[in-house]
Structure 1
Amino acid sequence: LGSLVAQVVAKHHPVPIEFVAIKDTYAKSGKAAELLQRYGLTAKDVEQAVRSVIKRKRK
């Protein structure tokens, strides 16, 4: 779904995009906090992705 939305947005408004999601893998089960950490989806990880996009946009 994310790639479809990105494709539509990019067609009309070219902007840098960073996907924040579980990579192509089978996810394990466990406590939410542990899983967020394992798959790079903590608030800090999302913040870093946003900062990366902002830096690319400014170039």
Structure 2
Amino acid sequence: EELNLTETQSLEIDLLINNTRSLTNTKCTTTATTTTTTTTTTNTAIVVTDVINNFGMMKNG
């Protein structure tokens, strides 16, 4: 099933995914880098989950 996202939502998700990809492709040589990568990945998952949940609420509401 396709999500009907606004252009802004799509761009935000693309940006988060690209940032996460960029960070995970960087070698984690320090704890700070590892923490940043983990935080960004978690934030990406939260945003995508929120978008999907909000879509479900709009559709069912």
Structure number with higher relative contact order (C-alpha < 8 Å, ≥ 6 residues apart): 2
TM-score by length of 2: 0.39
TM-score by length of 1: 0.39
